[in-house]
Structure 1
Amino acid sequence: MDEVTGGDALLSVLLAGGRRADRVTHVERLPARPGRRAPWPTWADPELVAGYRTLGVDRPWAHQVEAAEAAWSGRHTVLATSTGSGKSLAFWLPALTAVRHAPRRPVPDDASGDGAGGAPAGAAGPRPRPRTVLPGTTRRGTVLYLCPTKALAADQLAGLERLLAAAGTRDLRVATCDGDTDVTERRWVQDHADVVLTNPDFLHFALLPGHRRWTRLLRDLRYVVVDESHAFRGVFGAHVAAVLRRLRRLAAHHGAQPTVVLASATTSDPAQSAARLLGVDPSGVVAVTDDASPRGTKTFALWQPPVMAGLDPTLAPADSPDAPRDDAPTQPTHRTATAEVADLLADLTVAGARTLAFTRSRRGAESVAASTQRHLESVRPGLGAAVAAYRGGYLPEERRELERAIRDGTLRALATTNALELGVDISGLDAVLIAGWPGTRVSLWQQAGRAGRAGADGLVALVAREDPLDTYLVNHPEAIFATPVEATVFDPTNPYVLAPHLCAAAAELPLRSDDVALFGPGTAELLDVLVARGALRRRSSGWYWTHADPASRLTDLRGSGGEPVRVVEEGTGRLLGTVDAGSADASVHPGAVYVHQGATYVVDELDLEASVAVVHPKRVDYGTWSRFLTSIEIRGVRQERQAGPVRWGFGPVDVTTQVISYQKRRLPDLVPVGGDVLDLPARTLSTTAVWWTAPASLLAEAQLDDGDVPGSLHAAEHASIGLLPLLATCDRWDLGGVSTALHVDTEVATVFVYDAYPGGAGFAERGYHLGAAWLRATRDAIAGCACGAGCPACVQSPKCGNGNNPLDKAGAIRLLDAVLAHEGEDAVG
């Protein structure tokens, strides 16, 4: 296989001799930069330094040393640099050195961050319980490493084992411990491990509730490492913030005040985000952001698939932004991003490039991999085996094998979800394809950073979906390349998140008055509510958990709605994978087609109580798409304002959704071939929403007849959901919407956009405060689309439960023009 390398050479492969040149809307070339080295710190363990040198690190990059020095001095530190910049060395060097050489010292009552792991100046938080180390004894420190995924923890363990083997160091005991760890191994970790690698979920469900069994780890805790901390955003970020506060509180109870080191992608204001995550003052966090690692030239292409007459003859994943509509389009439409990426991935693989193709969904990854394999087998039999899918829901051993295969070159390409966006060490990649805007600039640059790692040149191509935001971005490159990355947004005071964590904290150790400040504003009032509801009991000494059941079971950090649903093969009982509980009724309902590494299965039974879907293998020539109904009820109004006849509101709502049926579509032409009605329970989501009303006078001003109103509202709702991520740090799939010509609560036509997370995530509130700018961008995106009656690039939605019917593009423009004409009038709020 002839290998083609270099960004421009690989772009030529994609252009196919100029036949695809008209699909490239912009090419940005990011220049190379040299690396800047620094001497090893004088305090660094000599054996560890020797180990790093054996692995090829003669001297560290300057940012690694800066972060390591700050952490060694006992200050909370966040290192926010690019993918592949070596962030792990910056936290392992001080942490492992401390374990080997820094015996734990007595912690006085006035611990103040003197380099021994005390609280840094300006930091808020619990004070450690005084304790004394007996004369003549030493006690080594311990380290707790936290990351978003089990895969990343396993990858870090492998990296540590390589380092310790290279160093010849045998006195460091390192282990992973998570929900998959059996009881015997868990007991060994509790009794002996110096470094424990795990995730926030394990802390929440097991370690913190059972903290007395983890006394050895907690009392000697010198460092807590929080890896890929930018991933802790939205509701998930709020949950992790509460878990970290509980961890710091229990560590202090056992006599420790650990230094926290956070590793993050490049984000806006990383010190502020890190401080919010930890519950400390930003002045107590050192931010290291000057990336000193080398970078090769990166060629970055923005790509818009061609317009095709009729449906694209390639499967568009049902749970992805390329899902088909219920009725075949009567006008030309752009080819799906997944189909386009499959072609490009095949060409790069034939050219010998090593590539990752990021997709927006699990089925999208399966679809791209299967299509690429078919393309390759038709060109060069046997080459299809060099491509595979990688996604969440696979068994751990399957993921480890795929990671090994892409590292050693057995596989040339992986079609993956964002599961490989995080820091699993896969180096030596030539190219990255991104099927659709990944939601934030932070994620975009994390994914792009996989191309050309270790200072080599690389190619990145962002392939637009038919979506208002994607269309806008590939035609406005300044919105990508000249705009700063976002800050990590989450609300630690979200009462829906905080309340169960206060119960969990009280169950671990009764809450005292001094703890109230640790959990942030609103905690005192929330404790009163929990007492009134009988969840907690108030005594003069504090707040106590009143039940025998573990309080940690009250909440799910990932917001997935409960225990993942296991997909089990009928007859053999083989576990194929898992599906998030919140999406199970839409994806593994009876009759649904489930795809796993290209093999198809049909679901026989879905038991939501037991969290099991039973499937049988069957080759089918169709896919399945679910349909659902959604209603919304306003539970309160936190903020509102009037702009002429338009009333804007923001507040708590209940969103009720029920999957009612599914449709079969023949592949590859997507012609409907049947379906069935489903009898599944309704789900109610308590969240927050922004809404705006369109009374009769406004509808008349927009020249909308009664028959035009539903389609105009519906189209405006879809497009506004697509454009809000331009203004808020979110993804289209973090949002939902409802529009109605007459809502029971407002008594007029109303458009709602809500956060798709329990309790809300702050995105809808952002829309409320930026209402005029948001709707103006929405109006311009619809009007600027070249289609006639509306398409996925403007008003059609990939997740519409009504099959994108009715939609009225022209009516939506007139409606939004009327709304915007009154902005600034009679504004009160």
Structure 2
Amino acid sequence: MIRDRLLLEVNSELLNMFPRSGASVIYEYSEEVSEPEPGPSIEEVDIPPELKKALSNAGIKRLFKFQYDAFEYIKSGYHTIITAGTGTGKTEAFLLPILADIYSNPSPYPRAILTYPTKALSRDQFNRFQKYLVFGRATAGIYDGDTPPELRKRMRENPPSIVITNPDMIHIGLVRSPAIRQFIERARFLVVDELHVYEGVLGSHLKYIIDRVKARNNRGLIFIGSSATLSNPKAFAESLFGVDVAVVQGPVRRRGVAVHSLVSTGYLSRWTVAAALSAILAKKGLKHIIFVDSQQMAELVARIGKSYGSEVMVHRAGLPAEERRRIEEKLRRGEILAVAATPTLELGIDIGDLDAVVLASPPPSYTKYLQRAGRVGRRGRPGYVFTVLSDDPIDAYYERNPEKYFSQDMPPLVIEPENEEVGKIHLLARLLEEGSIKLSSLNGFWRTVYTRLLEENLAYVKGLHLYPRRKIAFKYLDECGSIRSSGPQVKIVDKVSGETLAYRELPQAVLDLYPGAIYLIQTKPFLSLGLDFEEKTAWVRPLEENITYYTKPLYTVEVGDYTVLDERVSSRGIPLSYASVELALIVEGYIVRDVFSEKAGERIWLDQPLKYSYRTKAVLVKYPTKEGWSLADHAEAFHAIEHTIISAARIVCGAGLTDMGGVSYPSGDIVIYDASPGGSGLSKLLFERFEEAERIAFEIVSRCDCEDGCPRCIYSPYCGNNNQVLSRRKAMYYLGSIIGKTITTLEKPLEKRYGKPIA
């Protein structure tokens, strides 16, 4: 039953906007969180008198217990991970012991390097620090790509006590900047805030950056991580830092009231309902963010919002930094009430008080849900969180079991340490830093990586050492060495004006910018004219703004060479492998869909298919075929099973909607892969938790009451053939026949595959 007054009003307006659509608020969950457990007063803490006065002036008379625990661990020299919800005082928890050290041990060199995942967050936190630095015993400065040259020079000549930067700057600075190298060599503390951001490929990059930092600093750095709530803080921090860490656990949420709700879309699209919710909230004067997990869906939601008379701006990666800052400032000042954002606004950037967040789909993990939900309800006001559930297998699962959404486990965060694409960048960077590396020190994974460098003419062997081809290596790092992209960046250029509009990374660019694709930039539609892999450029031209359709690619995936890295047999006797695989992504055409209803229209085939190949990691599965079933029967069953296991990975592994892909064969071979080149770690987690994913997949296909397949069970919006060759009933029958049984098969995945692959 819905009791909250605002939810009742929102529900009423939804029903008025879309009568008989089924769109409505279906579940309410309220929580009230008290103050964190108190700790000692600042007078009882062993810190310099000047720092006590600074804390008192900032209104801090007493520490929370978790803050004091962190203080004691860090002061004692322990590597430490602090986990607590947004706005609960994590920053003070790690900053206080660092300031105490600086006040007690004056030095002409930086004592601490604080890293944040974005430059905007660095500046936001720098402003926050000022109240603790008023006595001049400690200083702080930002040193990153946006720092003016004159200020950089002053910081090199007279370094601050605390250097605030980002992992990107350390990555490039270790190669190119004597100042960064000096800062790192002299530092005592290295802080990585918002640690939960560094999962997947970005986490693999951070791991190698940390390894390079440790090689540069031989004084014994103390590593500190800070994050929203994690299910595996110790294991995750240790996978990144490579050292044992102490864990300090704070409260999950800030003090205050939060009202969570689940909203059903009925027969409407989730994007339509999310935009409608935004319009209703804006009409009530409520400042809010609409979170989506796709750049183009952020654009689509903002575009639909215009049709409801709502001004929604877009904040996402790929837009110029100054454009993102302008939007943040407008939201902070209340000049706009709504922003459609990818996770770029998930972090703790100060955008003022938010009244609500609208999640256009459930976030990839419950950890991310808590992070996004934690953005609302500050300073004593209730915060509202609307999660939109649509025709989707996992959404349908939670619509049937709404209470499970708010009691679900948080999947562990993971990285793939042996990502060859990432390793190649950092081995090359090490070569440029050190001049050469002994071949005898490069074993196992690193031997594969250095072989790649030789093949691509980025390095050469002389005697017993590996050397960089410096000119080519520097050019490669400049063009392909970003830690932010999971693949090479494609520049999107307006063919009419010649202006560079945005960037998109491969392989996703293949699915977004094939010839004929509609691509949105700040809600403005552009037609893709083609994609040049050699020039890494996509050419587009503007379209009329009133178009009411968008496009989805029709594609297939071919699995080529593969190397098994690990293998096991599931508890049901199903052979599983974790492997490095070569994939060929082939876009053959596209389908036109209506923006509001998502109804499919015309299919258009490309004259020349667009093909892009890359390596990644994958789970390989071998299901035995059924006697008496035809090739078509098997194809329909295994394609449906592939879809539902990918859906189940969202619960089991915390995978986002586009983090994993799959391909199946009528022979019973299924490949579920990391969408990021080199691998993200999600497929490894699925390999380890496959039985649970298979169980949820069976629940999805057995609990749906459709005829033989629908968006609530086996259909996927990212299916390469537009959800053809699928059967819920056959998938249900097949999985039902193996659940609770043990199967014996001698075949290994992909060894005897046959039939056309279905993506």
Alignment TM-score, normalising by the size of structure 1: 0.79
Cα distance in 2, alignment partners of residues 677 and 162 from structure 1: 60
Task: Report if the CA contact (8 A) 2:230-2:410 is conserved.
Answer: yes
Alignment of 1:488-503 (within 5 A): 488-494=413-419, 497-498=422-423, 500-503=425-428
Given candidates 775, 789, 812, the residue that maps to 2:708 is 789
Task: Report if the CA contact (8 A) 1:99-1:140 is conserved.
Answer: no
Task: Report if the CA contact (8 A) 2:515-2:606 is conserved.
Answer: no
Q: CA deviation at 1:420?
A: 1.1
Unmatched 5+ stretches in structure 1: 1-5, 105-138, 309-334, 378-383, 517-522, 742-747
Corresponding residue number in structure 2 for 1:313: none
1:71 aligns with 2:74: yes
Moved more, 424-433 or 470-479: 470-479
Letter in 1 for 2:676: Y
SS of the residue aligned with 2:256?
A: coil
Alignment of 1:748-787 (within 5 A): 748-787=667-706
Could you list the per-position Cα deviations for residues 559-616 of structure 1 after superposition, in whole angstroms to 9, with x for gaps in the alignment?
5211x33334445444433222332232234443332222223334544434333433
Alignment of 1:112-131 (within 5 A): none
Cα distance in 2, alignment partners of residues 7 and 446 from structure 1: 25
Given candidates 204, 213, 223, the residue that maps to 1:260 is 223
Corresponding residue number in structure 2 for 1:550: 473
1:15 aligns with 2:11: yes
Given candidates 71, 75, 93, the residue that maps to 1:90 is 93
Task: Report if the CA contact (8 A) 1:567-1:576 is conserved.
Answer: yes
Letter in 2 for 1:372: G
Corresponding residue number in structure 1 for 2:753: none
SS of the residue aligned with 2:377?
A: coil
* CA spacing shift, 1:12–1:291, aligned 2, 3 Å: same
Q: CA deviation at 1:762?
A: 3.6
1:653 aligns with 2:581: yes
Moved more, 145-154 or 808-817: 145-154
Given candidates 128, 153, 156, the residue that maps to 2:122 is 153
Moved more, 528-537 or 767-776: 528-537
Task: Report if the CA contact (8 A) 1:229-1:263 is conserved.
Answer: yes
Cα distance in 2, alignment partners of residues 339 and 226 from structure 1: 38
Could you list the per-position Cα deviations for residues 356-386 of structure 1 after superposition, in whole angstroms to 9, with x for gaps in the alignment?
22112112222222323332x3xxxxxx34x
Alignment of 1:263-302 (within 5 A): 263-280=226-243, 282=244, 285-291=245-251, 294-302=254-262
Q: CA deviation at 1:511?
A: 8.0
Cα distance in 1, alignment partners of residues 222 and 336 from structure 2: 40
Letter in 1 for 2:581: V
Alignment TM-score, normalising by the size of structure 2: 0.86
SS of the residue aligned with 1:298?
A: strand
Could you list the per-position Cα deviations for residues 508-553 of structure 1 after superposition, in whole angstroms to 9, with x for gaps in the alignment?
237889997xxxxxx643455567775575978xx54353243883
Task: Report if the CA contact (8 A) 1:606-1:612 is conserved.
Answer: yes
Cα distance in 2, alignment partners of residues 163 and 399 from structure 1: 28
Corresponding residue number in structure 2 for 1:28: 29
Task: Report if the CA contact (8 A) 2:487-2:677 is conserved.
Answer: no
Could you list the per-position Cα deviations for residues 473-528 of structure 1 after superposition, in whole angstroms to 9, with x for gaps in the alignment?
34324533333423221243556644653443344237889997xxxxxx643455
Q: CA deviation at 1:79?
A: 1.1
Could you list the per-position Cα deviations for residues 414-466 of structure 1 after superposition, in whole angstroms to 9, with x for gaps in the alignment?
22111111221234222222111211111011111112124432221221132
Corresponding residue number in structure 2 for 1:363: 296
1:626 aligns with 2:548: no
Q: CA deviation at 1:684?
A: 2.0
Q: CA deviation at 1:177?
A: 0.5
Q: CA deviation at 1:19?
A: 4.4
Letter in 1 for 2:32: P
Letter in 2 for 1:286: A
* CA spacing shift, 1:279–1:537, aligned 2, 3 Å: farther
Amino-acid identity (%) = 27
Q: CA deviation at 1:778?
A: 0.7
Cα distance in 1, alignment partners of residues 117 and 501 from structure 2: 22
Unmatched 5+ stretches in structure 2: 17-21, 749-759
1:635 aligns with 2:602: no
Corresponding residue number in structure 2 for 1:805: 724
Alignment of 1:291-370 (within 5 A): 291=251, 294-306=254-266, 308=267, 335-370=268-303
Cα distance in 2, alignment partners of residues 210 and 17 from structure 1: 57
Q: CA deviation at 1:824?
A: 5.6
Moved more, 462-471 or 47-56: 47-56
Letter in 2 for 1:462: T
SS of the residue aligned with 1:357?
A: strand
1:414 aligns with 2:339: yes
Task: Report if the CA contact (8 A) 2:364-2:656 is conserved.
Answer: yes
SS of the residue aligned with 1:152?
A: helix
* CA spacing shift, 1:95–1:359, aligned 2, 3 Å: same
Cα distance in 2, alignment partners of residues 679 and 46 from structure 1: 73
Cα distance in 2, alignment partners of residues 643 and 173 from structure 1: 55
Cα distance in 1, alignment partners of residues 191 and 428 from structure 2: 25
Corresponding residue number in structure 1 for 2:737: 818
Could you list the per-position Cα deviations for residues 313-351 of structure 1 after superposition, in whole angstroms to 9, with x for gaps in the alignment?
xxxxxxxxxxxxxxxxxxxxxx22211111112112212
Letter in 1 for 2:372: Q
Cα distance in 2, alignment partners of residues 721 and 579 from structure 1: 24
Q: CA deviation at 1:293?
A: 7.4
Q: CA deviation at 1:54?
A: 5.2
SS of the residue aligned with 1:246?
A: helix
Q: CA deviation at 1:810?
A: 1.2
Task: Report if the CA contact (8 A) 1:692-1:751 is conserved.
Answer: yes
Letter in 1 for 2:505: D
Cα distance in 1, alignment partners of residues 137 and 536 from structure 2: 43
* CA spacing shift, 1:143–1:693, aligned 2, 3 Å: same
Corresponding residue number in structure 1 for 2:384: 459
Letter in 2 for 1:636: T
Cα distance in 1, alignment partners of residues 385 and 320 from structure 2: 29
